[in-house]
């Protein structure tokens, strides 16, 4: 007996239900989720079963292929659907990836907000988070130097709340009217559409010079923050100033923060550049891999609040998105936890169609007069219309989990069917009445407004250098050196002398003369001889990423390569692999081939050997956080292989932990040669860090050694 299509689909729908206990959003999405891996036959979009999906209907015989018939409605439907698969990509943040998770609150913020999600510690609020780069197109590489988007959609019981943030706490411009100019300048240049996903070109640096307000942000963008190791290892910042309203109607200004439990970590520029070609999906895969392995990324959710009456107590304007609120003045209050624990089922309907809006707020949260936020509140709604159409909020990923009902109607692709005789308010049935504030109705904060209509910002918006200097002063020596190199790389890609002359000779000389001089020398600009603005010499907390180690020492979810060939030491290999797994990290066996590899003393007749996860030519050291080489006679083979030797050298150069036992110790020492001696002989503090990256053990026993390896790994 054949099943009907309807019951088949129902079965498919059921099969697609995630095994996880369903939160409200998961349950909601399951209404629209089907399993495509079913044995039910294919159908057309109008539901008839397709008998032959491989051949267009033709007038043909055994001997002759005749004309294809336009009559073939099945083939035409297939091609026509394909022709229209693409929608416009996001004008910025086109490249991204997302995941589901949950938000929990451990400390009520009822003193500052009456929002349910910020006061009810028993709630488990479903979330969808999308991380992104800003400049590149949808197919661009993950590891480019760029700001990362960190957009969170909370499906709260009172409606969706979106925090559409970045991994850097400030922004390039102060007024949203400048955004189109900024984005045009940062994107590929108009005459040749070059370069892709990079700020390293004339127009970006020209814009930055002409907007001194961008100085603070470009210093952040040249820091290691702009090349994160993983989306899981970066902070999230709401950037804009919002407000919170409590039960008594009192208003606080607020900034939102997410602090990763794994700590903040970055790639080094050389790794980032190589990975962009070797594995353009590096961050996307990293997030999926961690979630699949149960290493759910977590962030502390924190708020900084300032009572309304203190708005003007600071020497910067708290509504200026080019400024941070120094933690010394406004401490961070960690009140909740964000966890990502489920990958998407299908990229397009979820990650691509998700639409965030800064204006999506819930009662207890409100806007401020932050001029960047005000413009964003218009832009995000507007842009979704060209991407997704007017009914974008009906899409499964975007719809709220609380009751949603109003008289917005019609428009292209309307999906919902609203029963009833009226579609307006007020109506004779009193259908869909307004909600009182005490029943959750959203009430805008009754702020008194007065002033003169004009196009200016307050006086304090004009200080563009104090915080840029503080940021630079707060960097560790190696962070400063990375910034110098980043600036040099960028300006080296600018071929218009006016661009690199002005940037090095003016903007950088306003921040730090030594930095300006070094960059100018390297990029061929006139070397400035005076600091253009006195550096105040102050530094601040929370700016250097060295202040964000993991919450607890861990190598959880780190990728560790184990290099082997025929003749590897089995005891060291199995011991270390098990130790890596037990520590929650991910061991990858990289072999000289992906067919069986035999340990020392083993033979095909007596053993199945080990099948490597990958062969060395398909991988690079850049794709791993650490490398282990067990001893054994395979070292004779490995040491003759130029690419494996380079693997060791490259890994060492990127300050990664290298572990070795037995014969592999000499191999590593010999490959690293003088580089290793130099570091051992004169370990300056920066070099000590590099030296710690290498741990070797003379005997092939992983016990005792693995702790050192792990430690070296953390320090590096
Ligand atoms: Fe955005 N931004 N933005 N932005 N932004 C968009 O909205 C815009 C700004 C951010 O994963 C667009 O849906 C203006 C700051 C993220 O889907 C668009 C201004 C911050 C994402 C838009 C800003 C952001 C976007 C393009 C200046 C950090 C990706 C597609 C006033 C706090 C969200 C879309 C996702 C996306 C406008 C500045 C973060 C065009 C006008 C500051 C994370 O609406």
Is 636 a residue whose pLDDT tops 60? yes
Res. 687: pLDDT tops 70: no
Single out the residue of 239, 178, 238, 240 nearest to residue 374, CA to CA: 240
Q: Is the pLDDT of residue 712 over 90?
A: no
Measured from the CB, is residue 357 less than 6 Å from ligand 1? no
The reply to whether ligand 1 has any atom less than 6 angstroms from the CB of 383 is: yes
Least confident of 166-170, 622-626, 665-669: 665-669
178 CB under 6 A from ligand 1?
no
Read off the pTM. Answer: 0.93
Per residue in 13-33, pLDDT tens? 455 444 456 899 999 999 999
Task: Tell me the mean pLDDT in the region 130-134.
Answer: 98
Burial category of 54 from C-beta neighbours within 10 Å (exposed 0-12, middle 13-18, buried 19 and up): exposed
Tell me which residue has its CA closest to atom 3 in ligand 1.
376
Q: How confident is the model at residue 555 (pLDDT cuts 50, 70, 90)?
A: confident
User: What CA–CA distance (Å, rounded) separates 113 from 161?
Assistant: 14
Separation of alpha carbons 105 and 356, rounded Å: 22
> Which of 375, 297, 300, 373 has its CA nearest to residue 340?
297
- pLDDT tens-digit readout, 470-502: 999 999 999 999 999 999 999 999 999 999 999
- pLDDT the model gives residue 526: 98
Q: What is the ipTM for the molecules in this complex?
A: 0.98
Using one digit for the tens of pLDDT, what is the confidence trace for 314-327?
A: 999 999 999 999 99
- Residues 336-357, mean pLDDT to the nearest whole number: 98
Flag whether pLDDT at 514 surpasses 50: yes
Ligand 1 centroid, distance to 544 Cα (angstroms): 25
Give the Cα-Cα-Cα angle 659, 664, 667 (nearest 5 degrees): 110
Is the pLDDT assigned to residue 101 strictly greater than 50?
Answer: yes
Residues 6+ apart with CB under 8 A from 134: 92, 93, 146, 147, 148, 149, 186
93 catalytic? Reply is: yes
pLDDT averaged over the chain? 92
Q: Is 243 helix (H, G, I), strand (E, B) or coil?
A: strand
Answer yes or no: is the C-beta of 356 below 6 A from any ligand 1 atom.
yes
- pLDDT score for 64: 87
Q: Of the candidates 339, 234, 351, which has an alpha carbon nearest to the alpha carbon of residue 297? A: 339
- Percent of the chain scored above 90 by pLDDT? 85
Secondary structure (H, E, C), 693-710: CEEEECCCCCCCHHHHHH
pLDDT higher than 80, residue 679: no
Is the CB of 91 within 6 Å of ligand 1?
yes
Q: If you write DSSP's letter for every residue of 453-473 in order, what string do you get?
A: --S---GGGG--SHHHHHHHH
Residue 6 has pLDDT above 60, yes or no: no
Nearest-angstrom CA–CA distance, 115 and 124: 14
Ligand 1 centroid distance, CA of 385 (Å): 14
Which atom from ligand 1 is nearest to the alpha carbon of 166?
28
Does 582 score more than 80 pLDDT?
yes
The strand order across the sheet containing 559-564 reads 614-615, 586-591, 559-564, 626-629, 657-661, 694-697
Q: Residue 19's pLDDT is what?
A: 44
Does 377 qualify as catalytic in the annotation?
no
Between 437 and 656, residue with greater pLDDT: 437
The pLDDT value recorded for residue 654 is: 86
Read off the pLDDT of each residue in 92-107 and give the average, rounded to a whole number: 98
Phi-psi region of 493 (alpha: psi -120 to 50; beta: other; left: phi over 0): alpha
Among 160, 166, 377, 391, the one annotated catalytic = 166
Tokens representing residue 691 in the block: 């030296």
398 CA distance to ligand 1 middle (Å): 17
User: Could you tell me if 524 and 500 are in contact, meaning their C-beta atoms sit under 8 angstroms apart?
Assistant: yes
Lowest-confidence range among 129-133, 240-244, 660-664?
660-664
Interatomic CA distance for residues 92 and 308, integer angstroms: 33
Q: 302 falls in which pLDDT band (50, 70, 90)?
A: very high
How do 559-564 and 586-591 pair as beta strands?
parallel
CA of 368 to the centre of ligand 1 (A): 17
CA distance 336 to 350: 25
> Does 375 sit in the ligand 1 pocket, CB within 6 Å?
yes
């Amino acid at each position: 007996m054949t099943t009907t299509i309807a019951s088949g689909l129902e079965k498919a729908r059921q099969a697609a239900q995630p095994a996880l206990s369903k939160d409200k959003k998961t349950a909601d999405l399951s209404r629209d989720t089907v399993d495509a891996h079913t044995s039910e036959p294919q159908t057309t979009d109008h539901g008839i079963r397709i008998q032959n999906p491989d051949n267009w209907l033709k007038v043909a015989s055994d001997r002759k292929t005749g004309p294809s018939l336009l009559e073939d409605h099945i083939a035409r439907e297939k091609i026509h659907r394909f022709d229209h698969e693409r929608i416009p990509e996001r004008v910025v943040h086109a490249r991204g990836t997302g995941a589901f998770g949950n938000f929990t609150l451990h400390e009520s913020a009822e003193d500052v907000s009456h929002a349910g999600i910020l006061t009810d510690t028993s709630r488990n609020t479903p979330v969808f988070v999308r991380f992104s780069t800003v400049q590149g197109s949808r197919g661009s590489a993950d590891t480019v130097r760029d700001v990362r988007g960190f957009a969170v959609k909370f499906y709260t019981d009172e409606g969706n709340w979106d925090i559409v943030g970045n991994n850097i706490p400030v922004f390039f411009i102060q007024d949203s009217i400048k955004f189109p100019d900024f984005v045009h300048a940062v994107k590929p240049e108009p005459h040749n559409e070059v370069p892709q996903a990079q700020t390293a070109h004339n127009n970006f640096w020209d814009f930055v010079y002409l907007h001194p307000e961008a100085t603070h942000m470009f210093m952040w963008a040249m820091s290691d923050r702009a090349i994160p190791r993983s989306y899981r290892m970066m902070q999230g910042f709401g950037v804009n100033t919002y407000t919170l309203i409590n039960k008594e109607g009192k208003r606080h200004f607020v900034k939102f923060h997410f602090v990763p439990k794994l700590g903040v970590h970055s790639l080094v520029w050389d790794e980032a550049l190589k990975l962009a070609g070797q594995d353009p999906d590096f961050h996307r895969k990293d997030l999926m891999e961690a979630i699949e392995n149960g290493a759910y990324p977590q962030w502390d959710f924190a708020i900084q609040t300032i009572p309304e009456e203190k708005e003007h107590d600071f020497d910067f304007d708290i509504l200026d998105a080019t400024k941070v609120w120094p933690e010394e003045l406004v401490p961070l209050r960690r009140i909740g936890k964000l966890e990502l624990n489920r990958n998407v089922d299908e990229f397009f309907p979820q990650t691509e169609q998700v639409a965030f809006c800064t204006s999506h707020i819930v009662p207890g949260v409100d806007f401020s007069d932050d001029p960047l936020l005000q413009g964003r509140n218009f832009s995000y709604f507007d842009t979704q219309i060209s991407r997704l159409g007017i009914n974008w909020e009906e899409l499964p990923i975007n719809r709220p989990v609380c009751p949603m009902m109003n008289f917005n109607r019609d428009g292209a692709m309307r999906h919902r069917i609203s029963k009833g005789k009226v579609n307006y308010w007020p109506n004779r049935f009193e259908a869909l009445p307004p909600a009182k504030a005490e029943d959750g109705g959203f009430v805008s904060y009754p702020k008194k407004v007065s002033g003169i209509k004009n196009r200016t910002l307050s006086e304090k918006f004009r200080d563009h250098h104090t915080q840029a200097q503080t940021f630079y002063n707060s960097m560790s020596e190696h962070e400063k050196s990375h910034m110098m190199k980043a600036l040099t790389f960028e300006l080296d890609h600018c071929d218009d002398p006016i661009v690199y002359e002005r940037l090095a000779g003016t903007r950088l000389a306003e921040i730090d003369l030594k930095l300006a001089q070094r960059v100018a020398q390297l990029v061929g600009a006139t070397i400035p001889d005076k600091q253009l603005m006195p550096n105040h010499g102050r530094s601040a907390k929370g700016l250097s990423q060295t202040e964000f180690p993991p919450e607890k020492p861990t190598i959880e979810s780190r990728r560790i390569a184990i290099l082997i060939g025929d003749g590897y030491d089995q005891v060291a290999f199995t011991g270390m692999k098990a130790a890596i797994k037990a520590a929650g990290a991910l061991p990858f066996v990289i072999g000289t081939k992906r067919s069986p590899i035999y340990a020392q003393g083993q033979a095909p007749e007596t053993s199945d050997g080990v099948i490597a996860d990958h062969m060395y030519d398909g991988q690079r050291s850049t794709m791993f956080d650490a490398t282990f080489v067990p001893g054994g006679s395979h070292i004779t083979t490995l040491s003759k292989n130029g690419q494996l030797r380079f693997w060791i050298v490259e890994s060492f150069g990127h300050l990664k932990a290298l572990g070795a036992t037995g014969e592999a110790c000499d191999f590593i020492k010999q490959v690293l040669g003088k580089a290793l001696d130099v570091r051992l002989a004169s370990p300056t503090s920066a070099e000590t860090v590099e030296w710690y990256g290498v741990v070797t053990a003379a005997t092939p026993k992983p016990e005792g050694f693995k702790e050192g390896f792990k430690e070296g790994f953390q320090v590096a």
